Amino acid sequence: MDLLDFTAEAMYFDEPQDPEVVALLERAAKHYGRGPDDPTAEAALLRAYFLAPEDLTVLVALYRFFYYRHAYEDALTVADRAIAGTARRLDVPARWQVLSEDDLGRAVLVSMTLTRFLLMALKGTGYLLLRLDRPAEALARFEKVAQIDTSDRLGLGALIQLARGAAEAAGPNVRALVR
């Protein structure tokens, strides 16, 4: 499947949003600009999430907030929710482990943009797992995306090698998970 071949579509950010959610995101951005430790930014993002837990704009904002604060476990939780929500929108299995090329072929007919977002989110969670020193889990996600992205358009080759090397260096218990 060629993941770079798609026509212009509305981005996932272009979905209609509740004005209160938009205001909360703007408030979070304003306060985050004052410093990442400003509690008002996090409170506004969490309130937006409670009001719109499936809104990809909210999830991406919350993910970025946690990522840039190096709260990688929290960022991973949010990313996994974005993956599950995107899978529901695309009518593919929410468990990424069982995604197939056929599933993604059907998903592309719904939205190429969301399909790419799903795969990029899986790649991103693999990267987070590397940052969390969980290379075997990262490798599993990278390999799933590579199984679908047979042309390596998303640049997983180097990440797979990195994760595989880190998993093997971690010791025999982790090596057993990789094989």
- Collect all residues with Cβ–Cβ distance below 8 Å to 71 and sequence separation of at least 6: none
* pLDDT of amino acid 53: 95
Q: With respect to residue 92, please indicate whether it lies within any of the assigned structural domains.
A: yes
Tell me which of 16 and 55 has the higher pLDDT: 55
Gap between the Cα atoms of 118 and 116, Å rounded: 5
User: What pLDDT score does 134 carry?
Assistant: 95
One-character DSSP codes across 102-162: HHHHHHHHH-HHHHHHHHHHHHHHHHHHHHTT-HHHHHHHHHHHHHH-TT-TT--HHHHHH
Q: pLDDT averaged over the chain?
A: 86
The answer, yes or no, to whether residue 10 has pLDDT greater than 70, is no
| pLDDT of res. 17 | 84
In angstroms, the CA 166 to CA 144 distance is 18
Does the residue 47 lie in any domain? Answer: yes
pLDDT given for residue 6 in this prediction = 38
Mean pLDDT of the 34-43 span: 81
Instruction: Please write the tens of the pLDDT for every residue from 85-123.
Output: 999 999 999 999 999 999 999 999 999 999 999 999 999
Report how many domains make up the chain: 1
pLDDT for the residue 13 = 58
The residue with tokens 């709260």 is 71
Residue 46: inside a domain: yes
d(CA 171, CA 152): 28
Q: What is the pLDDT of residue 5?
A: 39
Residue 151: inside a domain, yes or no? Answer: no
**Predicted pLDDT of residue 138:** 95
Q: Is residue 149 part of a domain?
A: no
Is residue 42 one of the residues assigned to a domain? yes
Residue 18 has pLDDT above 60, yes or no: yes
Amino acid at 91: D
Task: Report if residue 36 sits inside a domain.
Answer: yes
Q: Give the number of other CB atoms < 10 A from CB of residue 87.
A: 20
Residue 74 sits in a domain whose CATH number is 1.25.40
For residue 53, the SS3 value is coil
For residue 141, tell me if it sits in a domain.
Answer: no
Structural domain including 86 reads 16-132
